[in-house]
C-alpha cells in the first residue's frame, strides 16, 4: 500500500537516432544555469518499431532545493529538511509517462487496468519496470547511453523545472487542472498523455495522472543525510520510491510529495517515466 502522509489521503538507442532540435519551452519556472556545458541535442526520439516512438527531452545539469521548507506546515517530515541537490550531468527524460503502446512494443503485453494505447501504462510493479528496462536497453540502448528509472532527485528536479513553488506553475491550486489529471477532473481514471500543459522543460503529466516509479529505495529520514551531488537514495530498503501522485487530491500533487510501495506490489495507479543517461565521453 502507498504510505499516507499528514491528513491528506493519498490515492493511492536506436542509439540517439532520430533527433529533433527544438523543444517547446512554454510553461512554468526558470531554467537554472547548467553546471557543466555539453552539446547534447535538446530532444531525442527513440524508434520502438511499428510506428511507436519514445520522445525524450534533455534535462540540463543544475541545482535546486529538494523537498519542502520547514515553513510548510502541510508537508510531512519525510519531505524535510529541504536541502540543496546538484544534478551534475544532463540527462534525458520521457516527455510523457510510458504509454501502453510503448510498453507493449517492448514487453509484448499490456497489463493496464483501463486499456487505451495512448494512456499511461498502469498496474506495473517496480520489478516489472526493471524487466522493461532490460528489454528496452537490448532493443534500443547502446554505447551512447543507458535507459533507467530516474532517481528521486532527478524526478523532482525535472518536475520543478526551475520552480521553487508547490507546483511547477506556482502555489495556488486554482491552476492545477490546467496541468494535471487529478481528483477533481480525472473521474478516477487515466487519460491519454499530453492533454494538459507541460512544465517549463516540456514535460507533461508530472503532476497527477499515474504514480511514477523511481530507482531509489525509500527511507523516511533519507533527506537528513542525503549527499548534495547526484543522490541515489539508500543502499537498500523494503520499498521503492514513487512520485507523481496519480489521481490524487490537489495537496497530494505537489512537486515535493513522495511515497513508496513494495517493489513487487501491483497497483492500478502505478506507471513509470523512463530516463536516458548519456554515456561518459
Q: Which of 96, 116, 94 lies closest to 104 in space, CA to CA? A: 116
Would you state the pLDDT for residue 199?
98
Residue with cell 523543444: 23
Would you state the pLDDT for residue 187?
93
CA-CA distances (angstroms) from residue 280 to 85, 103, 183?
21, 28, 42
Q: Which of 86, 77, 63, 33 lies closest to 231 in space, CA to CA? A: 86
What is the mean pLDDT, run by run of 10 residues, along the chain of 281 residues?
Answer: 37 29 36 62 96 98 97 93 98 98 98 96 98 97 90 98 97 96 93 98 97 98 98 98 91 95 94 94 69
Q: Which of 170, 28, 154 lies closest to 94 in space, CA to CA? A: 154
Would you state the pLDDT for residue 4?
37
Contact predicate 248/183, CB 8 Å: yes
Q: What is the pLDDT of residues 207-222, one digit of tens each?
A: 999 999 999 999 999 9
The Cα–Cα gap between 156 and 87 comes to 11
| φ, ψ at 192 (rounded to 5°) | -55, 145
CATH topology of domain 43-278: 3.90.1580
Would you state the pLDDT for residue 164?
97
H or E stretch at 64: strand 62-66
Contact predicate 172/191, CB 8 Å: no
Would you state the pLDDT for residue 35?
54
Q: In terms of C-beta density within 10 A (0-12 exposed, 13-18 middle, 19 or more buried), how is residue 53 classed?
A: middle
Would you state the pLDDT for residue 73?
86
Q: In the chain, helix, strand, coil percent, each to 5?
A: 20, 25, 60
Ordered by start, the domain boundaries in the chain are 43-278
Amino acid at each position: 500500500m502507498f504510505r499516507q502522509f499528514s491528513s491528506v489521503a493519498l490515492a493511492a538507442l536506436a542509439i540517439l537516432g532520430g533527433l529533433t532540435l527544438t523543444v517547446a519551452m512554454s510553461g512554468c519556472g526558470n531554467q537554472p544555469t547548467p553546471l557543466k556545458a555539453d552539446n547534447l541535442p535538446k530532444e531525442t526520439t527513440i524508434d520502438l518499431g511499428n510506428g511507436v516512438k519514445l520522445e525524450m527531452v534533455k534535462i540540463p545539469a543544475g541545482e535546486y532545493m529538494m523537498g519542502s521548507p520547514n515553513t510548510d506546515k502541510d508537508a510531512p517530515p519525510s519531505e524535510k529538511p529541504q536541502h540543496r541537490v546538484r544534478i551534475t550531468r544532463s540527462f534525458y527524460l520521457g516527455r510523457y509517462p510510458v504509454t501502453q503502446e510503448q510498453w507493449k512494443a517492448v514487453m509484448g503485453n499490456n497489463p493496464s487496468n483501463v486499456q487505451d494505447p495512448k494512456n499511461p501504462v498502469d498496474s506495473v510493479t517496480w520489478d516489472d519496470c526493471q524487466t522493461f528496462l532490460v528489454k528496452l536497453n537490448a532493443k534500443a540502448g547502446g554505447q551512447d547511453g543507458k535507459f533507467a528509472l530516474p532517481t528521486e532527485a532527478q524526478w523532482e528536479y525535472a518536475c520543478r523545472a526551475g520552480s521553487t513553488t508547490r507546483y511547477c506553475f506556482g502555489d495556488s491550486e486554482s491552476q492545477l487542472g490546467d496541468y494535471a489529471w487529478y481528483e477533481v477532473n480525472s473521474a478516477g481514471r487515466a487519460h491519454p498523455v499530453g492533454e494538459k500543459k507541460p512544465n517549463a522543460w516540456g514535460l507533461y503529466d508530472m503532476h497527477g495522472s499515474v504514480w511514477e516509479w523511481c530507482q531509489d529505495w525509500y527511507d523516511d529520514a533519507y533527506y537528513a543525510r542525503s549527499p548534495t551531488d547526484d543522490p541515489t537514495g539508500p543502499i537498500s530498503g523494503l520499498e521503492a520510491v514513487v512520485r507523481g501522485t496519480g489521481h490524487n487530491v490537489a495537496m497530494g500533487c505537489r512537486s515535493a510529495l513522495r511515497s513508496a510501495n513494495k517493489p513487487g506490489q501491483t497497483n492500478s495507479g502505478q506507471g513509470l517515466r523512463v530516463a536516458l543517461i548519456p554515456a561518459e565521453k
